[in-house]
Amino acid sequence: MPGYFHGIPAIRYEGPGSTNEFAFRHYNPDEVVMGKRMEEHLRFAVAYWHSFAYQGGDPFGGQTLQRPWFADTMAAAKAKADAAFELFDILGVPFYCFHDADVRPEGATFAESKRNLDEIVDYFAQKQGQHKAKLLWGTSNLFSHRRWMSGAATNPDPDVYAYAAATVKANLDATHKLGGQNYVLWGGREGYETLLNTDLSAERAHAGRFLQQVVDYKHKIGFAGTILIEPKPQEPSKHQYDYDVATVYGFLKDFGLENEVKVNIEQGHAILAGHSFEHEIATAASLGIFGSIDMNRNDYQSGWDTDQFPNNHAEKALAFYEILRAGGYTTGGTNFDAKIRRQSLDAEDLVLAHVGGMDTCARALKSAAALLESGELEAARAARYAGWTTPAAKAMLAGGLEAAAARVAAEGLEPEPKSGRQERLENLWNRYV
């Protein structure tokens, strides 16, 4: 609804000393960091599903939030879009992201749902022509409706597979029409609850073929964006096939897609998989499949994905260090896959949650960039592996076990352990954050 955020000013950068809560203290979009504007480094996006579709429910309670657009009508969908672009303007973000189910009412049939989507996409196109924010990525909700209870691409019913294919086609078309820079596939139900009724081989084969078909269609329509998979180990399924980055890479290799598909990595999902955020980013970068991130945090005392806004810049600096070290984003960005708490009822709460998250990320980026530019950590890393640059080490890798064994005998090697100097490097890190 136009004017939902009435009275809330556009957020401007005022510097670290500002006491104005409706101001950025660290995020200055025009500040140059490592030769690039901060806005271009961070590429912030607002998540439509959490900011505008979330009603305040949790696993133990229902709706707490009241929004004037909460209704299953096209008029409400357009009012939601009006409020969304109003928020995008207040924050000055360059991007947003959405699922199909976030932006249009569910129809009685697939054809009706698609008509609703097509109508709202046309409305978004008008909005994008009048506002700064553009589409970072689109995706399909293939997990909420009861039809997806046994999966989408991995469903034992081929009719559900067909419905999933039609849904993704419609949303890839929508993303393409809006100039989206990526398309994300998150398989919330692409997994199993029990092996007693599951054919793992069949489900994996169908998931692989589905992704091949998505890539084929991307090229057919000339979509220049990146196809992304978002890993998650569990929740809602007991076990999901896209468990973590390494698992996804093995899947992509198996189906010949490692040069076609990258990953969208979420902080909360990394934690659920038993990893750190920076581990997943570094793994993806080392395998050549890093694409984008969903920025949030988990409550470490809760056992599920709480999707909170980030507020710890030192923790996030580790992630941004790996992103910068990998060369930064290309088509990806920093999407706030985060929701306000169910007790945070006011429009101001939604704005300030993003302000705090954007400042946290900006402060983290600056810390990470300063350390990377200093070269201190990279010099220490290079020194630790310097032995591998010698001709003898290179010859050993090129040769066989016999050559390595012969070197031990000829040189009388009796290697002694060398310190990893972890605490020294942690102290170095803390000087920058």
**Exposed / middle / buried, residue 144 (Cβ in 10 Å: 0-12, 13-18, 19+):** middle
Half-sphere exposure of 344 (CA within 13 A, CB side): 15
102 is catalytic: yes
DSSP string, 362-420: HHHHHHHHHHHHH-HHHHHHHHHTGGGGSHHHHHHHHS-HHHHHHHHHHHT--------
Q: What share of the chain is helix, strand, coil (3-state, %, to 5)?
A: 50, 10, 40
Burial per residue of 407-419, b for 16 or more beta-carbon CB atoms within 10 angstroms, e otherwise: beeeeeeeeeeee
Closest by Cα among 94, 84, 95 to 30: 94
Closest by Cα among 47, 11, 68, 92 to 339: 47
What is the rounded distance in angstroms from the CA atom of residue 248 to the CA atom of residue 71?
A: 37
R_g (Cα) of the chain, nearest Å? 24
Per annotation, catalytic residue among 99, 279, 313, 354: 99
Euclidean distance between the first and final Cα of the chain, in Å?
Answer: 41
The runs of H, that is alpha helices, within 178-303 are 200-221, 245-254, 267-272, 277-287
173 is catalytic: no
What is the rounded distance in angstroms from the CA atom of residue 171 to the CA atom of residue 217?
A: 12
Per annotation, catalytic residue among 26, 41, 100, 102: 102
Catalytic sites, residue numbers: 99, 102
